[in-house]
Structure 1
Amino acid sequence: MYDAPVPTPPSTTTLQQWLLRLLSIGACLLFIGCASPSGPRQGGGPGPVIGGTSTLTAEQSNSIAIHALGLVGTPYRYGGNTPDGGFDCSGLIGYVYLNSVGESPPRTVARMTAFGSPVAVSELRTGDLVLFGSSTPSHAGIYVGGGRFVHAPSTGGVVRLDRLDGVYWSRQTVQARRP
């Protein structure tokens, strides 16, 4: 009989290190993708920017997106404005902006319509706000690039990442604001 060496499986520590490296690379790629401008939209060119100057630097906008993405999975709580206590949509926005760039937007979605400058939805940039509702918006989120936004949806839900062109959100009236 031949005694061939039996390969040994990698140790748990080696496997964990490999998985950690893979997850780190994946997270970096996700954040780079979120910070990249989206490609041109089909069905026409971009709409005009209406007062679309921003006081935020690209680094600040990316910080807002990364911070918002880091809160995905946090429970929804009406009136909530902390990770430990949960978030409602305006509480999430206020927490992210204050902790990312030191700026505190209005506490209610209705008042966010006067925050920053209005921009065309086709001109959204990372860190912009998206407001949903017809005459007076009733829901808001943070645009993170690639047609996606982070928001705290409703009772029983959690902070999540959704697409503006998703079945539900594409049927809603959307306004965009740039701080």
Structure 2
Amino acid sequence: MRQSLSCLLLISALLLSACGSPLPRSADGRGTITQPPRAVSGEAAEVVMYAMSLIDTGYRFGGKNPEAGLDCSGMVSYIFDQATGRRVQGSAADIARQGRPVPREQLRPGDLVFFNTMNRPFSHVGLYIGDGRFIHAPSTNGRVRIENMSSSYFAQRYEAARTLLD
């Protein structure tokens, strides 16, 4: 119960901080807005909350549910099915083909982030939760957890972002 309350408070803080995030700036740094920010939908909040509930779930290659364990694509499929009723299937690369591209500077909670972790494109996927962080199911240390996109490992391997949300 206490962990559940902590997760709910963290999600609320992340979503509120997204509302107060600075507007995107131009590459010249003069403050020109390049694109309007993308709003966080209620559906995105549901997806993030569901993802947060899976923290510490065990890893299993090919895993599609928390009871048996989850791999990265299984985690994303399970979250979207449970939180939105959407059927998302296949590998991380297959899931990347199902989404619409999102510029990195326009990421919002609920978007998917893709990495090249196995020397092949789109070999790992996670769910962006805001504030430069994402949830994923890594095989290393075998538990669903939150990572920072700016960590040296993930910053070097970031490939793209996609959204499955409206």
TM-score class, shorter-chain normalisation, is 0.7 to 0.9
- Which shifted more, 147-156 or 131-140? 131-140
Q: 1:89 aligns with which of 61, 66, 72?
A: 72
Structure 1 equivalent of residue 159 of structure 2: 174
SS in 1 for 2:98: coil
Which whole-Å deviations, capped at 9, do the CAs of 1:120-151 have from their partners, x for residues lacking one? Answer: 11111111000112762100001111111100
Q: Contact between 1:75 and 1:156, CA under 8 Å: does it hold in 2?
A: no
Structure 1 equivalent of residue 15 of structure 2: 35
Q: Contact between 1:78 and 1:155, CA under 8 Å: does it hold in 2?
A: no
Q: Contact between 1:53 and 1:178, CA under 8 Å: does it hold in 2?
A: no
Question: What TM-score do you get using the length of structure 1 for normalisation?
Answer: 0.74
Name the CA distance, whole Å, in 1 between partners of 2:63 and 2:14. 26
Which whole-Å deviations, capped at 9, do the CAs of 1:54-79 have from their partners, x for residues lacking one? Answer: 9xx71110010011011010010000
Q: Could you tell me how far 1:35 is from its partner in structure 2?
A: 1.9
- Percent of pairs with identical residues: 32
Structure 1 equivalent of residue 143 of structure 2: 158
Name the CA distance, whole Å, in 1 between partners of 2:121 and 2:56. 27
Q: 1:79 aligns with which of 32, 52, 62?
A: 62
- Which shifted more, 147-156 or 27-36? 27-36
List gaps (5 residues or longer) in structure 1: 1-18
List gaps (5 residues or longer) in structure 2: none
Q: Contact between 2:26 and 2:34, CA under 8 Å: does it hold in 1?
A: no
Structure 2 equivalent of residue 99 of structure 1: 82
**Structure whose CA Rg is larger:** 1
SS in 2 for 1:96: helix
SS in 2 for 1:168: helix
- Which shifted more, 113-122 or 133-142? 133-142
Name the count of aligned residue pairs. Answer: 155
